[in-house]
A and B are shown apart, each in its own frame.
Chain A
Amino acid sequence: MTDTLTEHADATLHKGEPLIEMDNIGKSYGAIRALQGINLRVNAGEVACVLGDNGAGKSTLIKIMSGLHPHNEGSLKVDGQLVTFGSPREALAHGIATVYQDLAVVGLMEVWRNFFLGSEIVSSKMPLAAMKIRDMRRIADEELRKMGIVVKDINQPIGNLSGGQRQCVAIARAVYFGARVLILDEPTAALGVKQSGVVLKYTAAARDAGLGVVFITHNPHHAYLVGDHFMVLKRGAMNLDAKRSEITLEELTGQMAGGDELEALAHELKRDEEPKGTNRGAHASERTDGGTT
């Protein structure tokens, strides 16, 4: 798997080199300020984790990087050049590929059609030229197998695959088409433990191949498994910005779960009839739940 990733990964990528640099980025929708003062660096060969509760501005941040909405404050540099993306096509042209949690694939279409969607292999530039369907089927099947994803039938609708497999196909596709930066939007949110593990392995493999990865999640445990850099968003602003060496999982979980707010909530919800020990146990699990919901 790592071999395939290395094979397709851009050879000009050097670990630690900045790919995306955001300086004081902000975004307003009309009178609503969804995001402000964001400084984020995505380096080659590193995983930058963005954590935050619902409505913290994670989606807005992804949308700016992936070209769905342009930013209207601050500066966005890709490979050192100032850019403002007008469409996802422009972001893709810069090698920034996004894998969305819910809209990674078109469920009714076959696996191979999904794999090549938007980058079809055609026999000529004519608008009605035939696609090289046999090649597309073969390549999609080979690439997925090389990456350890075995689909029983490459011609089945992708909606028949499990959620984890769909995510993996979408990641494999982005890497195959030469992504330099991979943005993963809550890739593990809807998955079970085992499937999350598969997705996290791919994330790490993409990192090892030299890609810059932006990992957006609710789950500090998943983030800490693969992350090099952590950023916690709260109400559209940065609440925490730390390197892996500067923070422990407990601190990250605490930050993510709301820190002081959760302490207050735990106090408020305290159930007096429970023995002291159990109460502390409940407290700990609440913290974790706060992080995953």
Chain B
Amino acid sequence: MSQSVQSPPTEVQDTRSENRVTLGLTNRILARPEVGALVAAIVIFIFFIAVAPAFRSGASFFTVLYQASTIGIVAVGVGMLMIGGEFDLSAGVIVTTAGLVNSMFCWWFGINLWVGAALSLVFCLAIGFLNGYLVMRTGIPSFLITLGTFFVLQGANLGVTKLVTGSVSTPDISQMDGFTSLGKVFSSSFQVGGVTVWGTVIWWALFIAISAWVLQRTKIGNWIFAVGGNAASARAVGVPVIRTKIGLFMTVSFLGWFVGMHTLYRFNTLQSGNGVGNEFLYIIAAVVGGTLLTGGYGNAIGVAIGAFIFGMTSLCIVYAGWDPNWFKAFLGVMLLLAVMVNLWVKNLSTARKVG
């Protein structure tokens, strides 16, 4: 027995160089999840440069980045959650909920807005935890659980706002303690060479960087891919599946809270019905960015490019001077094209993969 089992290694030594296959550079690049989205983004970019003269300036480019960041920040979390194999449909309304909790709590009790912001953070994290806990505990698909939270939050946003303020929007809080300092954190902007750069763009870049680091370089990232790719086998080798997934839901609600704070401190009043439908924009950004709808595959840069495509499309229709009523239809076409380009590139790369 030992004779026969010891023979393979020597054989291996001889064939070592022949057996080593290194993929060509083009194949290695094509195999990355974000390449399809990048190609789509470049095509759309060139298209709008051609048809929308107003787009050809640094200022409008940074406006596009700002627009993209308001979607992109939450999409960072949603993308990671989708790689982890789950959905969060409550991610759109939780942005509004975060702002409403902060605004109305402080207005009603007349206390410093920082207290409300902290309370709102705890509240959002609790919702994220509840989403994750219910999904893991009951085994009901996250699509249904978070659809439930989505409706609960949507109704509560309107109902509670009506009870507290008597209308569907929140009162002006711009004169309250803490508004200026919170505004500096969440909704500042600065000038670089005559171009306005919003703070959220910097925050967005930071969150993308953290997400990319976590996914590619840390053991938690390894666990996220594993729980999304095959939760049962991840559990069998000792990955804490429940903690990982609950953590992902909480990451999404944290980022939702962050954008909620930005919206509140930029506009100081909120419409309680806002945010509905945004959850799909986050999911679309992630999918356009190459994230697999069934989990286990994707990356942070791809999701960022997905959000950028959204920002570019939504503003460039205006820059091109077209009727903005057509925006959604145009967005739909753009997204379908992006997904198809994505798929096409993916096929190109997998067709040549070495086994």
A residues touching B (Cβ–Cβ < 8 Å)? 1-3, 66, 68, 88-89, 92, 98, 100, 103-109, 113, 116-120, 122, 127-131, 133, 145-146, 148, 150, 152-153, 156, 160, 173, 201, 204-205, 208
Other A-B pairs beyond A118-B238, A120-B219, A146-B9, 14, CB < 8 Å: A1-B6, A2-B5, A88-B235, A88-B238, A100-B236, A105-B233, A106-B230, A113-B222, A118-B226, A128-B218, A129-B219, A131-B218, A153-B21, A160-B355
**Cβ–Cβ contact B233 & A103, under 8 A:** yes
B residues touching A (Cβ–Cβ < 8 Å)? 1-2, 4-6, 8-9, 11-12, 15-16, 19-23, 210, 213-214, 217-220, 222-223, 225-226, 229-230, 232-240, 292, 296-297, 353-355
Q: Which residue of A has the minimal Cβ distance to B217?
A: A130
What residues on B are CB-neighbors of A145 within 8 Å? Answer: 9, 12, 16
- Name the 10 nearest CB pairs between A and B, nearest first: A148-B8, A103-B233, A120-B219, A118-B238, A118-B237, A106-B229, A106-B230, A152-B21, A108-B296, A108-B229
Known: A148-B9, A152-B355. A109 touches B226 (CB 8 A): yes
What residues on B are CB-neighbors of A148 within 8 Å? Answer: 5, 8-9, 11-12
In angstroms, Cα B229 to Cα A205, docked, is 31
Interface centre among B210, B214, B225 (most CB of A within 10 A): B225
In angstroms, Cα B11 to Cα A116, docked, is 26
In angstroms, Cα B222 to Cα A119, docked, is 10
**Cβ–Cβ contact B354 & A156, under 8 A:** yes
**Cβ–Cβ contact B12 & A98, under 8 A:** no
B305 to chain A, nearest CB (A): 20
What residues on A are CB-neighbors of B2 within 8 Å? Answer: 2, 208
Q: Which residue of A has the minimal Cβ distance to B239?
A: A118
What residues on A are CB-neighbors of B1 within 8 Å? Answer: 201, 204-205, 208
What residues on B are CB-neighbors of A153 within 8 Å? Answer: 20-23, 354
**Cβ–Cβ contact B220 & A127, under 8 A:** yes
**Cβ–Cβ contact B19 & A3, under 8 A:** no
Known: A106-B296, A109-B225. A131 touches B6 (CB 8 A): no
Known: A108-B296, A131-B218, A208-B2. A117 touches B354 (CB 8 A): no
In angstroms, Cα B10 to Cα A146, docked, is 9
B1 to chain A, nearest CB (A): 6
Q: Which residue of B has the minimal Cβ distance to A3?
A: B6
State which of B4, B21, B232 has its C-beta within 8 Å of the C-beta of A201: B4
**Cβ–Cβ contact A108 & B238, under 8 A:** no
In angstroms, Cα B222 to Cα A131, docked, is 9
Q: Which residue of A has the minimal Cβ distance to B226?
A: A106
B245 to chain A, nearest CB (A): 15
Q: Which residue of B has the minimal Cβ distance to A99?
A: B236
In angstroms, Cα B8 to Cα A1, docked, is 8
In angstroms, Cα B225 to Cα A224, docked, is 39
What residues on A are CB-neighbors of B22 within 8 Å? Answer: 153
What residues on A are CB-neighbors of B297 within 8 Å? Answer: 108
What residues on A are CB-neighbors of B353 within 8 Å? Answer: 156, 160
Question: Can you give 8 contacting A-B residue pairs, CB < 8 Å?
Answer: A109-B296, A116-B222, A117-B239, A118-B226, A127-B218, A152-B354, A153-B21, A156-B355
In angstroms, Cα B5 to Cα A127, docked, is 40
In angstroms, Cα B349 to Cα A200, docked, is 36
Interface centre among A68, A129, A131, A204 (most CB of B within 10 A): A131
What residues on A are CB-neighbors of B292 within 8 Å? Answer: 108
